[in-house]
Copies of this chain bind each other. A is one copy, B any other.
C-alpha cells in the first residue's frame, strides 16, 4: 500500500465537521477504493474552544490556516473557510505554492480566481478539485468534466440555490408573498439574516460561472453573468405561470450562441412537464444539453453539511487515487477567453405581465407596439377586474388589471423597446413584469 494521504482541513463549520467524521467513518471503504489510507492530520479554525462533537486527538491544530497550508505533515488541503478573498484565498494559494493538492467547496473563490488558481495547480503538478462548490452533493462537476468529453455542450442550466427554490416552491404551493416565505426560510435556517447574496442571484451566478467554464472550456468569468434575483416575483406571476403550463424557477443558464457564451441568472418559466420543473424545496438540479447525449439531468441536495462533505470526500478520494487532471477539464492556457453576450441580444420567449388601465383599446395598443418590434404573441391572458360589472355595464372599470402576454422567440432588446413605447403611451399603471421562458 502506498503511503497514506494526509489531509489538512481548514475551516471546521458544519461542512468541515462532517468531512472529519466522514473520513473516519468511511476509512475502510476509502482505503479499499484508493489503495491508500486517508486521514486527517491537521485542522484549523478560528475558535479552538468550541465543542464540535469531534475527536481531534492526534490531529494537529492550527490557528492560522495559511500555516496549516505550509505544514510538512499535510499532502492535501481541504479549504472550507469560504469567501473569495482573505484567509481562504491565502490558504489555497499557499497550499498550491507548497505543492499540495487542494480540495475546496468555495464557489466565490473559484468564480473570481478560478483560472489563476488552476494555472498555479498545473504549475505545481497538483490537483485543484471543487466538486462541492456547485450543487452540493450532486457530482455535477465530475459529470461534465469527465462524463461528457465526447460531447459539444450547447447549454447548461440549473436550479443552483436551495434558498430561492424553497421560497418559490412555497410561494407557488401556498400563494404566499416573497417576503412571507423569506421570513420562514430565515426562521428555518435556509436563508441568511442578510439574504441578498442568495435571493438576488449572486450565489447562483458564482456556481453558473464555474459550470460554464467546465462545459464550454472558457475562462471562468463571474462578472460576465447577467444577474436578476427573485425578490420581484409575485404570487400572481406564479398563478399565471400555472395557468399557462409553467413553473417559475430561479435558473442559471449558460448557452452557446453565435455571439459567444450567454451567462444569465433570472427567474425563469419552465414547462411543468420538464424534469427541472419537478424540483421543489431546497433540492438542486442541473441539465446539460449536449450533441451526443442529448439531455442529461442530475437532481440532488444542493447544500447541507453531509451532502457537501460527500462531494468534498469524493474529491479527496480522487486525489488519493492519483487523479490529477486540469481543474476545468483542459489546461488553463487552452481555456478560451469568455466572450460576453449582452442581455439585450438574448433571444427567447417572454412572459410579460402588464398592469393596464381597464379601458377600451388598451390591448390593441399593446399589441400594436409589440408588432412594431416584430414580436409575435403566442397567447394573451386578460382578467377582468373583480368589481368590473359594478362600475361599467360593458364590464370595464378603468381600474388597473393584469394583461399577460407570452411571446414567441424575440430579442430582449426588442422586448424592452416595445415595453418602453407602451409605457410612453400611458397604457401602464405599474412598471411591467418580465420573466424569461426556457424551453426544453
Which residues on the B side are within 8 Å of A32 (C-beta)? 217, 329-331, 334
Say yes or no: A29-B149 contact (C-beta < 8 A), given A293-B310, A299-B297.
yes
CB distance from A237 to the nearest CB of B (A): 23
Contacts of A322 in B (CB 8 A): 322
Q: Report A363 CB to chain B, min CB distance, Å.
A: 36
Contact B294 A297 (CB under 8 A): no
Q: Does A155 contact B (CB under 8 A)?
A: no
Are A149 and B300 touching (Cβ within 8 A)?
no
A22 at the interface (CB under 8 A from B): yes
Which residues from chain B contact A137 at a C-beta distance below 8 Å? 292-294, 296
Q: Mark A25-39, 1 if CB is under 8 A from B, else 0.
A: 010011011110000
Interchain CB contact under 8 A, A297 and B298: yes
Q: Are the C-beta atoms of B149 and A317 separated by less than 8 Å?
A: yes
Q: Chain B residues with Cβ under 8 A from A307's Cβ?
A: 292-294
Q: Does A301 contact B (CB under 8 A)?
A: yes
Q: Provide the bound-state CA to CA distance between A18 and B292, in Å.
A: 9
Contacting pair B296 A296 (CB below 8 A) = no
Q: Enumerate A302-339 residues with CB–CB distance to B below 8 Å.
A: 306-307, 309-314, 317-318, 321-323, 325-326, 329-331, 334
Interface presence of A147 (CB below 8 A): yes
CA distance A137 to B295 in the complex (A): 9
Contacts of A18 on B, CB cut-off 8 Å?
Answer: 292
Q: Within the assembled complex, what's the spacing in Å between the Cα atoms of A296 and B217?
A: 26
A301: chain B residues within 8 A (beta carbon): 293-296
The residues of B that contact A29 with a CB separation of less than 8 Å are 149, 217, 330
Chain B CB within 8 A of A139 CB: yes
Whether, in the assembled complex, A98 has its beta carbon less than 8 Å from a beta carbon of chain B, the answer is no
Whether the Cβ atoms of A146 and B151 lie closer than 8 Å is no
A72 in the interface (beta carbon within 8 A):
no
**CB within 8 Å for A299 and B300 given contacts A293-B306, A307-B292, A317-B146:** no
**Contact (Cβ within 8 A) A150 B313:** yes
Please pick, from B139, B152, B294, B295, the residue contacting A146 in the complex, using a CB distance under 8 A.
Answer: B139
Inter-chain contacts of A323 with B (CB < 8 A):
321, 323
Whether a CB of chain B sits under 8 angstroms from the CB of A273 is yes
* B299 and A294 within 8 A (CB): no
Q: Which of A227-264 contact B (CB under 8 A)?
A: none
Contacts of A291 in B (CB 8 A): 306
Task: Point out which of A33, A34, A279 has the most chain B C-beta atoms below 10 A from its C-beta.
Answer: A33
The CA of A33 and the CA of B324, in the complex, are separated in Å by 11
For chain A residues 11-48, which have a beta carbon within 8 Å of chain B?
18, 22-23, 26, 29-30, 32-35
Does residue A142 face the partner (Cβ distance < 8 Å to B)?
yes
Q: Is A278 an interface residue (CB 8 A)?
A: yes
Q: Check B306 against A295 for contact (C-beta < 8 Å).
A: no
Question: What separation, in Å, do the CA atoms of A372 and B223 have in the docked complex?
Answer: 68
Q: Flag whether A180 is at the interface (Cβ < 8 A).
A: no
- Do the beta carbons of B293 and A329 come within 8 Å of each other? no
CA distance A280 to B321 in the complex (A): 38
Q: Can you name the residue of chain B whose Cβ is closest to the Cβ of A277?
A: B278
Q: Is the CB of A150 within 8 A of B309?
A: yes
A310 and B330 form a contact (CB under 8 A): no
A419 within 8 A of B: no
Query: In the complex, A82→B41 CA distance in Å?
Result: 48
A-B contact pairs, 11 of them (CB 8 A): A29-B149, A29-B217, A32-B217, A35-B331, A147-B314, A148-B314, A149-B314, A275-B279, A290-B310, A297-B298, A297-B299
Enumerate chain A interface residues (CB-CB to B < 8 A).
Answer: 18, 22-23, 26, 29-30, 32-35, 131, 137-139, 142-143, 146-152, 217, 273, 275, 278-279, 290-301, 306-307, 309-314, 317-318, 321-323, 325-326, 329-331, 334
Given A298-B299, A323-B323, 14 other A-B residues pairs in contact with their CB atoms under 8 A: A26-B150, A33-B330, A34-B325, A138-B293, A142-B142, A148-B310, A150-B314, A273-B278, A278-B278, A290-B310, A293-B301, A294-B300, A296-B299, A296-B300
